[in-house]
Amino acid sequence: MIMNNKKELKRLYGFALLTIFVISISLPLSHYADAQIIFRNTLTGEQLDFSFAKKGEETKQQKYFMSTGLNQYLGDAEAIKVGADLFLTACSGCHGHEAEGKLGPALGDDYWTYPKNTTDKGFFETMFGGARAMMGPQYKQLTIDEMLKVIAYVRSIYWGSVEKADWLTEEQKATFKPAHIPKDYLEALKKHQESS
Ligand code: HEC
């Protein structure tokens, strides 16, 4: 009887050690998994491969974005200025100088072909990996950090409804004022309404 109890104790002791071992290994692992979010191609859903990305300085805003999907450049006047210049060279040819829409759709209104573009993670995925036709992947033109600044610029000229501005916090929504609507956008809208 005594022998058996001893054996049982040893077994329990071994089991406890094993449990502690497993927990101590899996805790840091799950922590690591939490810190990673998966970015996906807007059309195919495949995971984006960042090894092709244009190399640039890995800023702290970029690191934060890659682990949270949140863009710290929103509302940052300096980043928005840089983003505006980048937008003019990389995007305005197709999306218009004021994002009013041209070959590609307007980006300052609240109509989205891909609803996920109302989050900065989604918008970034579309920019990085591309969408249909002329909307090619932008990873050769812009670094990840530059893309975040372009997003900050595009969000800063948003003239759509506040309810659809998912990138704003509730607090920011409360004080949100839409930007001015580009003339060309209004004219195109009028023409569209007249013809339909
Ligand atoms: C050569 C033309 C071209 C260039 C350059 C271009 N785009 Fe596009 N873009 C398009 C077209 C065309 C579409 C529509 C594609 C579709 O519906 O799949 C589009 C779609 C998009 C969408 C999705 C809009 C929605 O309604 O969901 C976003 C976001 C976008 N572009 C951002 C950008 C940004 C930012 C840049 C610059 C870094 C850029 N594009 C450069 C042509 C272009």
138 lines ligand 1 (CB under 6 A): yes
Q: Please state the domain count of the chain.
A: 1
Say if residue 138 is exposed, middle or buried (CB neighbours under 10 Å; 0-12, 13-18, 19+): buried
Share of the chain above pLDDT 90, in %: 80
Residue 12 inside a domain? The answer is no
* DSSP track, the chain: -HHHHHHHHHHHHHHHHHHHHHHHHHHHHHHHHHH----B-TTT-PBP-GGGSBP----HHHHHHHHH---TTTT-HHHHHHHHHHHHHHTHHHH-TTS--SSSPPSSSS--SSGGGGSHHHHHHHHHH--STT----TTTSBHHHHHHHHHHHHHT--S-GGG-TTS-HHHHHT--PPPPPHHHHHHHHHHHHH-
174 lines ligand 1 (CB under 6 A): no
Q: Which domain holds residue 189?
A: 55-195
Which is higher by pLDDT, 35 or 185? 185
pTM: 0.85
Ligand 1 atom closest to the CA of 138, numbered from 1: 38
Residue 135 inside a domain? The answer is yes
Residue 16 inside a domain? The answer is no
Q: What is the pLDDT of residue 28?
A: 52
Q: What is the pLDDT of residues 45-95, one digit of tens each?
A: 999 999 989 999 999 999 999 999 999 999 999 999 999 999 999 999 999
121 lines ligand 1 (CB under 6 A): no
Q: What is the pLDDT of residue 31?
A: 46
Which among 94, 102, 116 is the best mutation to test ligand 1's pocket, defined by most ligand atoms within 8 Å of the CB? 94
Q: What is the pLDDT of residue 25?
A: 60
CATH code, 76 = 1.10.760.10
Residue 47 inside a domain? The answer is no
Residue nearest to ligand 1 atom 16, measured at CA: 132
86 lines ligand 1 (CB under 6 A): no
Residue 96 inside a domain? The answer is yes
Q: How much distance in Å is there from the Cα of 4 to the middle of ligand 1?
A: 73
133 lines ligand 1 (CB under 6 A): yes
Q: What is the pLDDT of residues 120-146, one digit of tens each?
A: 999 999 999 999 999 999 999 999 999
113 lines ligand 1 (CB under 6 A): yes
Residue nearest to ligand 1 atom 5, measured at CA: 91
Residue 64 inside a domain? The answer is yes
Cα(144)–Cα(141) distance, integer angstroms? 10
Q: What is the pLDDT of residue 14?
A: 76
Residue 14 inside a domain? The answer is no
Q: What is the pLDDT of residue 104?
A: 97
114 lines ligand 1 (CB under 6 A): yes
Residue nearest to ligand 1 atom 36, measured at CA: 91
Whether 181 shows a pLDDT value over 90: the answer reads: yes
Q: What is the pLDDT of residue 172?
A: 92
123 lines ligand 1 (CB under 6 A): yes
| Least confidently predicted of 9-13, 70-74, 146-150 | 9-13
Residue 71 inside a domain? The answer is yes
Which is higher by pLDDT, 1 or 7? 7
Q: What is the pLDDT of residue 32?
A: 44
Whether 165 shows a pLDDT value over 80: the answer reads: yes
Share of the chain above pLDDT 70, in %: 89
